[in-house]
Structure 1
Amino acid sequence: MEYVKQLSLKKTIMFYLLIALTISFFTSAWIVSTAERVQYNVWFQYIDKEKYDDLVIQDEKENGVSVDIPRPSSYVMSDTDHFISETCDFLTTWTPLILSTLCSGLAVVVFYNKKLKTPIKILEDSSHEIACNNLDFQIKYDYEDEMGRLCTSFEHMRDQLQINNKYMWKMIEEQKNLKAAIAHDLRSPLAILKGYHEMLIEFIPQDKIDKEKLNEMILSCDRQTDRLLLFIDKMRQLSSLEDRKVDYEEVNTVELIKQLKATADILADPKNIEIEISSKSGIPSSFQADLAVIYEVYENLISNAIRYAAKKIVISIMFTNSMLQIKVCDDGTGFKTDNNDLITNAYYHDNSADDLNHFGLGLYISKILCEKHGGKICIEKDLNIGASVKAEFLIH
């Protein structure tokens, strides 16, 4: 029966109907044959047996066939024999139709119970769960017929809804964190500007502030204003990330490595940090990727590494399973946590002193760009080194 379970709905209903009609055919033939014999036995009681025997002998000699027993008049037969004869007439006339209808109906019922009832119940229950915003379940139906494929498609839809739902809640949570972080990052420069403003209002009219101090306060206000303008630019960059598309182009691997080395040397030169870059053997000579995305993520990783490195930064370039991997390691203090999601959140800082140095958006922007390029950002914790961040990009 396992073979029948895997048949399509069309083949299954034809199979059940064929069995039902075969059973009804042979059963009808047996009932009709039995009814005719019973009816002939009843009629035989009301004929002239000697005359009938002569007719049978004569007909067999002439034609080679037997003579049918003639139907006696209903007035001649007893009530019981007449009822039996009429019942036999009914059976011989209607048995094939009645049995074929009943067997076909039974075949349809069996077909429904075997092939439709369970998957329909599964789909109804699943629809109810989805309508109640519950996506934490699994739609499982083992048959490979049309209903099995429908249940599989429904499971794919549920799974995608769950992914989209989680993504939506993640975006809502990130928006909440972003708003809180914006308020936090705006508060510091605004508080400094307000403090200087109050001091100027209080001391300038009384001529209690010297020119050197005044110049220092003006320069500090200018720095805080630049910080606010930079913050606005970062916010504009964040808002455009969701609409950014990945444009694949031909990338020469050797030229890419040269550019990455040159970029790291230029950025690290002011702090006199040593740069070491290496690539694994067996790398392709060229590949398809969005070079602008790779450079932007790389610059964010290098900038973070330079900020915390003591003396040296090691850069590794690898190609594995259609993925370009760029790993940047520094010899600084490393991250205080190994929570990948926390570190790549917007406005994440390891300590409060970082608030005045940078906004904590580099890894967050890099994470979004890597995901758009089919990859991800991985934070690796190693006791022998400082921070280790790996960016992955899907390439063709």
Structure 2
Amino acid sequence: MARLTAAARRLRARMANCSIRTAFALYAAVALLAALVLSFVTTGLLGLLANATLPDDLLAHSGTYVLDADAGQLVPAEALSWYETSAVDAAVAPDGQASERDGEPVVLYVESAARPDAAPVSLADPPADVRDAAVTDLTWAISEDGARTLSLAEIPAYDAAAASERPGAEAAAELAASLPPNADGARPVVSNVGYYLPHPGDPEPYRTIANLAIASVPVVFVACLAVAGRLFYRRRLAGPINAMGEAAERIAASDLDFRVPPQRADELGRLCARFEDMRAELERSERELWLAAENRRRVNAAFAHDLRTPLTVVRGQAELIGRLAADGAVREAAAAITRQAERLSAYADSMRDLDTLDATTVSPAPLDLRAWFAQAAADAREVARAAGVELAVASEGLPERAEADAAALARVADNLVANAARHARATVRLSASWSDGTLTLTVADDGPGFSEAALAHAAEPFWSEARRDAARDGAPTDGSHLGLGLYVCALLAERHGGELRMANAPEGGAVAAARFSAPVKSYETVTKR
């Protein structure tokens, strides 16, 4: 017994870890076997139920009949035999001479009690299960008249005419007279004309149950296959699929703090194991990237901190030398030292700001975009006035309240306007529009526009076309533009669910458009201007 238990346990473990293809074949085989057994049982039970609806006298008024003209009814009969006319005539004729119809076949039908369930059919008052106009002459089944039928009222006249026309009428009469009577003194009817009454047909309950039994076979097979498919999915597929789906969703959400649970040792189980390996590798890579970014921030912060003090000292000493020196060349050298010290200080500050910007997140909150844009336009006018250019302002469709981060929007607007004012010849255009939950802030200028290199790299940190040209020509730069403005705009727009696009206007000048996700809450009424 212990061996059987151990063997069954091993077999169960092997089946639990078999391949998907093997498991599918086993589930399908069990489903088909169960469907076959259930079909036999179902059809057998329905067959018994259908037979129970049949009446006991279902065949009482069908089969072979002959006409009993005296009683006015059809009585059950059977074909006695096949005869040759000459033999009958020889048996009944006193001189033993053959009839003039010698050689023609004759069939005699004799009233019979061999079928105890058969009953006579009255021509005047037939039973309800006898179909009128459905009686056929037995000879029509082998002749050209197989499609003819007789009504019960036509049978007496038809029988008299047919009996006289076909061979064996006299032999039938003499045979009937020569047969011994029964206990009641009645002799059986003998005729050379026989009739067939068709089966009355199955009752409606019987046909309904029989059709149900036929229809139950495909229904049982489909049901068994459906149950087997559901069990196969729940036991073999649902677990691994749900585990991988949840893992994919959490990985897409940058959540790697979980483990993919182990599954069976089949194809999907091995795929889940590979998912876990991928998650672990992503977690390791993300940890390394985080450590590298953290180290970079620490180095930048330490660099900016350690560089700021000596630069302050250098700048102060250079300014002192410039004020005390009498020689013009010394004052120029002191001024140059001061400019370079300020440039290095600006670089140190930008490195600190860049690290802070990388960790910046946007926090959308209900914001009146009309009021915000009015303030942004006022700030832009100050920047344009300081640069000596005009500012044109336009807005379209701004809602009174939308979800947006006012600080992020203001920083992007300031950077775009400052960049445009620095390159414009006479005019800077600032516009804002809102549509379908998206705010678009566009700044254009009438300057020379973006070069191909600027369109490709202007949104990168520390990229400046002036600095690039100076480095190429070996000329010094004033360090006033560090190349972070458009990078900050692109980064904040992306974190706000949008993007920064740069292009050149057909009439000339640069165009920078920042798009932000700024949906309006569904319960608030949107009014646009």
Calculate the TM-score normalised by the size of structure 1: 0.52
Structure 2 residue 372 is the aligned partner of structure 1 residue 251: no
Q: Any unmatched runs of 5+ in structure 1?
A: 1-12, 31-102, 121-144, 187-192
C-alpha distance in structure 1 between counterparts of 2:41 and 2:398, whole Å? 78
Distance (whole Å) between structure 2 residues aligned to residue 297 and residue 216 of structure 1: 38
Distance 2:456 2:252 in 1: 22
Letter of the 1:382 partner, please give it.
Answer: A
Does the 8 Å contact 1:308/1:330 carry over to 2? yes
Distance 2:445 2:386 in 1: 16
Q: Which of 479, 497, 503 is matched with 1:374 structurally?
A: 497
Partner of 2:424: 309
Say whether residues 1:24 and 2:139 are aligned partners.
Answer: no
Percent identity between the two aligned chains: 21
Alignment of 1:228-243 (within 5 A): 228-243=344-359
Change (3 A) 1:159 1:341: farther
- Across the aligned residues of Structure 1 and Structure 2, the Cα RMSD in angstroms comes to 4.8
- Code of the residue aligned with 2:328 in structure 1: it is E
| Matched residue type, 2:340 | Q
Distance 1:254 1:107, change over 3 A: closer
SS state at 2:465 partner: coil
Q: 1:25 to 1:395 in 2, by over 3 A?
A: closer
CA contact (8 A) 2:365 2:405 kept: yes
Q: Secondary structure at the match of 2:447?
A: coil
2:32 and 2:386 map into 1 onto residues whose CA distance is: 88
How far is the alpha carbon of 1:246 from its aligned partner? 2.0
1:265 Cα offset (Å): 1.3
Partner of 1:395: 518
- Corresponding residue SS for 2:393: strand
Residue type at the aligned position of 1:300? N
Aligned residues: 258
The residue aligned with 1:57 is none
Say which is worse superposed, 351-360 or 266-275, in terms of deviation. Answer: 351-360
Is 1:224–2:340 an aligned residue pair? Answer: yes
Q: Is the 8 A contact 2:343 2:480 kept in 1?
A: no
C-alpha distance in 1, partners of 2:433/2:375? Answer: 16
Letter paired with 1:23: L
What are the residue-to-residue correspondences of 1:1-396 with 2, within 5 Å? 19-25=32-38, 153=246, 156=249, 211-280=327-396, 282-337=397-452, 342-351=457-466, 352-353=468-469, 355=477, 356-396=479-519
Q: Distance in 1 between matches of 2:359 and 2:503?
A: 29
Cα offset, 1:385, TM superposition = 2.4
Shift of 1:24: 3.4
SS of 2:442's equivalent? strand
**In structure 1, the residue corresponding to 2:421 is in which secondary structure?**
helix
AA aligned to 2:509 is G
Deviations 1:60-79 (CA, angstroms, capped at 9, x unpaired)? xxxxxxxxxxxxxxxxxxxx
1:222-275 CA distances to partner (integer Å, 9 max, x unpaired)? 121112112111111110112223233432233222212211111111332010
CA distance in 2, matches of 1:250, 1:341: 35
Read off the aligned partner of 2:384 and give its amino acid letter: A
Counterpart residue type for residue 221 of structure 1: I
Which digits, 9 at most, give the CA deviation of each residue in 1:326-360, with x for residues without a partner?
Answer: 10001111111277552211111224357533111
Aligned mates of 1:256, 1:22 — CA distance in 2: 72
User: Judging changes above 3 Å, is the alpha-carbon distance between structure 1 residues 357 and 15 closer, same or farther for their aligned structure 2 residues?
Assistant: same
- Hey, what's the Cα distance between the residues in 1 that align with 2:32 and 2:350? 74
- What amino acid is the match of 1:394? S
Distance 1:382 1:338, change over 3 A: farther
Q: Which runs of 5+ in 2 are unaligned?
A: 1-25, 44-220, 255-277, 305-310, 471-476, 520-529
In the aligned structure 2, how far is the partner of 1:234 from the partner of 1:29?
84
Whose radius of gyration is greater, 1 or 2?
2
Determine if contact 2:370/2:398 at 8 Å carries over to the other structure. no
